[in-house]
A and B are shown apart, each in its own frame.
Chain A
Amino acid sequence: MYTLGKFDRSNPSDFFRALSSDECPLSLVEVDRHALYFTDYLEDICARTIVIEPEYVDGDYLEDYAAFYVACFHPYNRFCRRVHFFKKDFDQNYFEERLRGPFDNDEYDGFSRSYLGFIVVRPLPQAIIGRTVLATYDDDGGRRHYTARKSYDVNLLGMPLGVESMAFQEQDRVVAACATVALWSCFQKTSEMFGTAAPRPPRVTADATQSIFAKRVLPSDGLTSFQICSAIRQNGLEPEVFVVDKFATEVPLVSLMYGYLSYGLPLLMIARLQGYTDQAHAFAFNGYSLLTKQHAVEIILPPDPQTGACQEAPRFTGARINELYAHDDQIGPFSRLYVHPPTVVGKTSTFTGSWYLPKSMDSAVIEPVHIIVPIYKKIRLSYIEAYLVVTQIRAVFEKTLLRNNVTVSHAEWDLRLTDTSAYKEEIGRETALPPDRVRYLLCQPQPRYIWRSTLTLAGMRVAEFLIDATEFGKSNPLFGVNYFHERVRTAFFSDLEALPTNPRFTPNLKKTLLTEYRQVWDGVTLTPTLAPVPPSGTSVTP
């Protein structure tokens, strides 16, 4: 059967009762950190009505049960409870009518659109939050981007419902610690993107610990970064690993994360938390907040060794990101991490969120150590390798700007992963390129995965560089250039042509840039109207 309740943050008794069980009484639920997080979260997404399925067989919990709990002396229940949330305020009579007769179409539309997802409640003494699929916060006028979501189909007593989300669950520290759960969330999305598996937590832990392992696998007290990589490989993907300390002074961290997240790829961040010595925590990132103006400088460069003057770091899209969103299994889904820019040379951005210093109400600083992206094996060129190509082009482009007295800090580089289908779909709507160029881009075969780097100056798109993401670092991955501004194009070409031979500027890259120009762009007249800012929000307001 089912039971029905109301959700009200000021009096969440129905919700807390729905989370409680014989194993975890109401008094514990009322002080449970996750229960309190969800109380705020559900209020923010406007939940009003709760429908509870009291005996629900959850596949994820059932595997946990089979892997561990069934062999305990204590008779743990194998049935969960599933708690659904609706925006619509309705009562028992309304729901009974829905069960006893077919829906009127319009009525059903309204009912299904008000669906906000569910929480599976595990029958355990703690770690009660099982598989949770909840709607995200709204986009706040286009600022918030929850990119690593997928569609989940839900059937509630025969009613087909759905929600866009990324599944979340709390670690039980038995079959899964934080790294396992973070991987499990990421695999939900990668399975949709690349057709790989979405293994359940016991399988993820087992995959991670297949190599030499010095201690018992279950109960699990965590994984090393190496084991996280192993689990990713076992799942048919490749781990793209970035060691934050190594690239902090050269590559913008938040822009790197944006480069993958904007394509919908979730990523893991392994971080140290201030005040929690010798421990590290895993976050599964799934979105970001992109402002229309600069939030922070991502890299602080040392003074110019020759002149002693301050050097201005290149500006990438990450400079406009003020928050990132992540599943933090000890906090809750889509938890907010505020971006704090570096303050000294050699350091990278840090974050604060819902973590506090031990025995204090002061926020704990979250210091990233590793970024690990579970990526399809054909995406061979990493963000840093694509960034390397952009760095070479940027060095020449800045000369073009400076000798024309244009401030380089007004140039913003957007570097993000995409694929040929998405790119061609966008190009098909492009009005700022000559029609022949659009036709060429649509008809010409392209690599399946592409790093797309767009340069904007003072909010105007002026050029775009297409980098083959299926290539490798030592290759010549640039395969296309689009110019949106005639003066910028000709001025940049003259600087490129005059560039003396330099071992650090790959000869093949220069050759491709010059050939593209001579064969495609020389003599082409661009419409005098400046290219509009792309819809993805890559504009910049200085």
Chain B
Amino acid sequence: MYQATDASEAALESLSPLSETDPVCAALLDERVERALEAVDRIQEAARVTPDDLRLHVTM
């Protein structure tokens, strides 16, 4: 599908717009984006704090 290379200056200079990418590869990467975005729900959950979380006694 895709082969990773070093992120050199030359590699960045050769970045191309989506229209020049193989559609099959682009579709597979869309699935990856979808999975990456699933983290949004989990991160929102991670930010919640309840009163029970704060009962820890700091004694030392």
Residue numbers of A with Cβ under 8 A of B are 177-179, 221-226, 228-229, 241-243, 246-247, 249-251, 270, 273, 276, 279-282, 304, 306, 330, 369-370, 382, 384-385, 387-388, 391-392, 394-396, 398-408, 410-411, 457-458, 460, 462, 473, 485, 487-488, 490-491, 493-495, 497-500, 502, 504-505, 530, 542
Contact = CB atoms under 8 A, between A and B. Distances in A.
Given A249-B42, A494-B18, 7 more contacts: A279-B59, A279-B60, A306-B35, A388-B44, A403-B18, A458-B6, A490-B15
B3 to A, nearest CB: 5
A226 B55 contact: yes
B15 A410 contact: no
The 5 closest A-B pairs by CB, nearest first: A410-B7, A247-B46, A222-B59, A395-B36, A494-B17
A370 B56 contact: yes
Most interface-central of A179, A270, A402 (chain B CB within 10 A):
A402
Contacts of A178: 58-60
A405 B11 contact: yes
Contact of B38 (A251, A411, A504): A504
Contacts of B43: 247, 250-251, 384, 387-388, 391
Given A247-B47, A392-B40, A542-B6, A487 B60 contact: no
A250 B46 contact: yes
Given A243-B53, A247-B46, A491-B15, A221 B30 contact: no
A280 B7 contact: no
A222 B47 contact: no
Interface string B21-55: 10001100111111111111111111111010111
A491 B16 contact: yes
Given A247-B46, A388-B44, A406-B12, A280 B37 contact: no
Contact of A406 (B4, B19, B25, B59): B4
A498 B26 CA distance: 10
Contact of B55 (A224, A400, A485, A494): A224
A226 B42 CA distance: 24
Given A391-B39, A391-B43, A458 B56 contact: no
Given A391-B40, A399-B30, A458-B9, A384 B46 contact: yes
Nearest to B44: A388
A243 to B, nearest CB: 5
Contacts of B44: 388, 473
A472 to B, nearest CB: 12
Contacts of A398: 32-33, 36
A251 B31 CA distance: 22
A398 B49 CA distance: 30
B33 A395 contact: yes
Contacts of B47: 242, 246-247, 382, 384-385, 473
Contact of A392 (B11, B37, B56): B37
Nearest to B5: A405
A425 B41 CA distance: 36
Contact of A399 (B3, B5, B29): B29
A222 B60 CA distance: 7
A270 B2 contact: no
Contact of A404 (B16, B30, B41): B16
Contact of B58 (A280, A402, A473, A493): A280
Most interface-central of B2, B13, B49 (chain A CB within 10 A):
B49
Contacts of B39: 250, 391
A9 B49 CA distance: 47
A36 to B, nearest CB: 19
Given A178-B60, A384-B43, A395-B36, A225 B15 contact: no
A330 B44 CA distance: 36
A494 B35 CA distance: 20
Contacts of B48: 246
14 contacts: A177-B60, A179-B58, A224-B55, A225-B58, A250-B46, A270-B56, A279-B60, A280-B58, A391-B43, A406-B11, A488-B12, A490-B15, A494-B19, A497-B18
Contacts of A458: 6-9, 12
A282 B58 contact: yes
A457 B12 CA distance: 8
Nearest to A408: B4
A504 B40 contact: yes
A500 B30 contact: yes
A398 B2 CA distance: 13
Contacts of B2: 402-403, 405
Contact of B60 (A273, A382, A401, A490): A273
A388 B46 CA distance: 11
A296 to B, nearest CB: 20
B33 A396 contact: yes
Contact of A177 (B9, B13, B16, B58): B58
